[in-house]
Structure 1
Amino acid sequence: MEIQRLFLSLTSLLLCLFIFFPHSTAAAPVGICYGRVANNLPPPSNAVNLIKSNGITTVRLFNTDPETLTAFSGSGISLMIGIPNEILPSLANGPVDASLQWLQSNLFAHIPPNQIRYIAIGNEILLRDTFYSPYIVPAMQNMHKALQTLNLADTIKLSSAHAASILSNSYPPSAGAFDPNFLPVMIPLLQFLRDTQSPLMVNVYPYFSYVNNPQYVSLDSVLFRSTNIENDQNLGYDNVFDMTVDAFAYAMEREGFGGIPVVVTETGWPTGGGAAASPENALAYNGNVVRRALENVGTPKRPGVGVEVFLFDLFDENEKDGEEFEKHFGVFGVDGVKAYGLNFS
Structure 2
Amino acid sequence: MAPACQGVAVAEALSIGVNYGQIANNLPSPARVSWLLRSMRISKVKLYDADPNVLRAFLGTGVEFVVGIGNEAVPSMTSPAAAQAWLQQHVVPHLLSGARISCVTVGNEVFKGNDTALQAAVLPAMVSVHRALSALGLQGRVNVTTAHSLDIMGPSFPPSSGAFHPAALGHLRPFLAFLSATRSPFLINCYPYFAYKEDPARVPLEYVLFQPNAGVADPRTGLRYDNMLYAQVDAVYAAIQALGYTDVEVKVSETGWPSRGDPDEPGATPEYAGTYIRNLLQRIEMKQGTPLRPATPVDVYVFALFNENLKPGPASERNYGLFYPDGTPVYNVGLHGYLPPMLVSNAARQ
TM-score range, shorter chain: 0.7 to 0.9
* Residue type of the alignment partner of 2:179: L
Q: Which runs of 5+ in 1 are unaligned?
A: 1-25
Q: Which residue of 1 aligns with 2:236?
A: 248
- What's the counterpart of residue 172 of structure 1? 158
| Residue aligned with 2:254, SS | strand
Q: Is the 8 A contact 1:30 1:344 kept in 2?
A: no
Task: Give how far 1:51 is off.
Answer: 0.9
Contact 2:43 2:63 in 1 (8 A): yes
TM superposition shift of 1:114: 5.1
The gaps in structure 2 that reach 5 residues or longer are 1-11, 337-350
* CA shift for structure 1 position 171: 0.9
Q: How many residues align?
A: 319
Whether the aligned pair in 2 keeps the contact of 1:30 and 1:56 (CA below 8 Å) is yes
Who is 1:109 aligned against?
93
Q: What residue number does 1:14 align with?
A: none
After TM superposition, the score normalised by the length of structure 2 is 0.86
Are 1:88 and 2:74 counterparts? yes
- Identity over the aligned pairs, expressed in percent? 38
Separation in structure 2 between the aligned mates of residue 177 and residue 40 of structure 1, nearest angstrom: 41
On the 8 A contact 2:195/2:203 being kept in 1, the answer is yes
Q: Would the alpha carbon gap of residues 167 and 340 (structure 1) be closer, same or farther in structure 2, given more than 3 Å must change? A: same
Q: Deviations over 1:38-73 (max 9, x none)?
A: 111111111111111111101010012232232223
- Write out per-residue CA displacement over residues 171-201 of structure 1, whole angstroms, 9 at most, x where no aligned residue: 1111100011111111111111100111100
Alpha-carbon offset, residue 106 of structure 1: 2.0
CA deviations over 1:80-100 (Å, ceiling 9, x no partner): 1111011111111x13x3322
Does residue 186 of the first structure (1) align with residue 177 of the second (2)?
Answer: no
Task: Please give the TM-score of this superposition, normalised by the length of structure 1.
Answer: 0.88
Cα contact 2:13–2:41 (8 A) shared by 1: no
Q: SS at 1:284's partner residue? A: helix
1:304 to 1:288, Cα distance in 2 relative to 1, 3 A = farther
Per the alignment, residue 10 of structure 1 pairs with none
Give the Cα–Cα distance (whole angstroms) in 1 for the partners of residues 45 and 70 of structure 2: 17
Q: Work out whether 1:272 is the aligned partner of 2:292.
A: no
Give the secondary-structure state (helix, strand or coil) at the position aligned to 2:313. coil
The root-mean-square deviation of aligned C-alpha atoms, in Å, is 2.0
- Name the counterpart of 1:159: 145
Q: Establish whether residue 124 from structure 1 lines up as the match of residue 133 from structure 2.
A: no
For 1:100 and 1:158, how far apart are their aligned partners in 2? 13
Q: Which residue of 2 aligns with 1:234?
A: 222
Quote the Cα distance in structure 2 between the aligned partners of 1:165 and 1:294.
Answer: 28
Cα contact 2:60–2:99 (8 A) shared by 1: no
CA radius of gyration, larger in: 1
Q: CA deviation at 1:295?
A: 1.2
